[in-house]
Amino acid sequence: MNLVDFIAEAARRHGQRTAFKLGDRQLSFENLDKLSNGLARNLVNLGIKPGDRVALLLENSPDFPICYFGIAKAGAIAIPLDTKYKILEIKAVFDHCRPAALIAETAILKTLGGEFARFDCLKSIIGMGCTEGLVCIPYSSLSESSDAPPEVAMYSELAHIAYTSGPTLRPHGAEITQEHLIEAAAGSAAGFAQTEADTVILFALPLHHTIGIAVIMMTSLWAGSRVVIVNGVSMDAALCAIEKERATMFHGVPFIHAMMVNHLKTNGLKFNLSTLRFCGSAGAPIPVNVITDFEELTGKNLVQYYGLTESTSHVTCQEVTGSGRSGGVGRAIPGFSIRVVRDDGSDAGIGEPGEVIIKGPIMKAYHQLPELTGGYIRSGWLYTDDIGVIDRNGELFIKGIKKPMLITKGQNIYFSDISDLLVTHPSIAEAAAVGIPDPDGMRGEVVLAVVKLKDGADMTEQEVKKYCLEKLANYKCPKKVLFVAEIPRKPGGDLDAFGLLD
């Protein structure tokens, strides 16, 4: 089955039932199918060909799934990107995958419109909302309903290329196939025991992210569930939506659950959460105290699950009853297998740390990076660089990360992004970055930039932060800056992270 058949079957089964809701706007399964048909026809009319890439810089709204499936029906491949990216980050991705078209929010085009004109690969730039004064094609002129998708020579094997993992300035794009995305959605629905009776709250989780696309959008479409989008970061708005919409499922990264805990400690619980049957956490390890506080304050179990961009979707999940151990992420969901292995590839013993490897509907490859792909996919197993242990009950526990990175608010931050950028500043001779505990206790870890200035140069901490904010997504920017005379290195020249922290 491909995505064209997938969404047509969902429309046949669920018809005019609501698939996505944002405020007063509702999008049914049937209209999602028809509107994506119409968009696909217009994309083909614009010259989009099978295998072309179409980049998406979109906020959460019902238009995201319309565009996502419209791109697939045109035979093209979606490139969902973070709307917080600055032009330096966008350029790195565009140079790597060379999209033929871009669909973007008007605010982004107003800020970066002139920059996009410099990409010779972009044949069409499509703007959402009011596009007056912008050099682009209004999305409204392409939005129409059609009973059938266009006829194309062939549909792409790939659904999308996910650039949410890997150093942004040296992009790694995970190729996610349509077949594997659908297979993962089926396993996810089974793991969550999700059905058409469920209403899912989408709050503070971007649809461009793996959790947004695979865990929420695709799983809900597979199960026939309704997704209610709550934009912004108001915790009261999220809690109100749970009560008003009689929501049954709420997903979040640890930062969101920590926000809710702090909010409830300050304001108390003023909303009825009795309809919730599932609260899930993923994207990063969650402190045990946050789990305990969340469960005490809401009266709901917090179920943990685990996956990564390269695994297409999540691959494990605790029992939805909340019977899993705090700190664990459950067992493999249907369709996936997991192992923990030693450096020689043999299976680690019970409770013995090793690298987590995954088999199942994983990514096909890193886009145009065959050597890197061969290093991470071996004999059908995806090597994750995550360190884990499996206990006597078969539950996986994530203990650390081998890669030089951290995860904050569910987003991967590679230290090379910060150090590569900082050394382009004319006053900086050398730079490095490490993770340090978040002083607020909300994000787990935050970035510390360590800077060696050139002889005679002078910079302040604020100037370093400002330079990063101008060129990187805000969540990547260092929270603290340390100026040093020398950056500690190991004998082979690699960064001595422990020396930095000392």
Structural domain includes residue 15: no
Q: pLDDT band for position 416 (50/70/90)?
A: confident
- Strand, helix or coil at 443? coil
Q: Does the structure show a pLDDT above 60 at 167?
A: no
Contact assessment for residue 246 and residue 275, using Cβ atoms and an 8 Å cutoff: yes
Burial string for 38-59 (b: 16+ CB within 10 Å, else e) reads bbbbbbbebebeeebbbbbbbb
* pLDDT score recorded for residue 502: 60
Structural domain includes residue 5: no
Q: What is the pLDDT of residues 287-340, one digit of tens each?
A: 888 999 999 999 999 999 999 999 999 999 999 987 667 789 999 999 999 999
- 34: part of which helix (H) or strand (E)? helix 29-45
DSSP string, 167-214: -TTS---EEEEHHHHHHHHHHHHHHHT--TT-EEEEES--TTSHIIII
DSSP string, 451-494: EEEPTT----HHHHHHHHHHHS-GGGS-SEEEE-SS--B-TTS-
From 344, 369, 401, the end of a domain falls on 401
What is the tally of structural domains in the chain? 3
In terms of domains, do 338 and 421 share one?
no
In terms of domains, do 47 and 107 share one?
yes
* pLDDT score recorded for residue 501: 59
Tokens read off for 398: 């994530």
In terms of domains, do 333 and 371 share one?
yes
- Mean pLDDT across 428-440: 86
In terms of domains, do 278 and 397 share one?
yes
> What is the span of the domain harbouring residue 327?
182-401
SS3 content of the chain, % helix, strand, coil (to 5): 35, 25, 40
Structural domain includes residue 94: yes
Q: What is the pLDDT of residues 350-377, one digit of tens each?
A: 999 999 999 999 999 999 999 999 999 9
Instruction: Quote the mean pLDDT of the chain.
Output: 93
Stated pTM of the model: 0.89
Q: Does the structure show a pLDDT above 70 at 479?
A: yes
Contact assessment for residue 137 and residue 127, using Cβ atoms and an 8 Å cutoff: yes
In terms of domains, do 356 and 447 share one?
no
* pLDDT score recorded for residue 500: 64
Q: pLDDT band for position 449 (50/70/90)?
A: very high
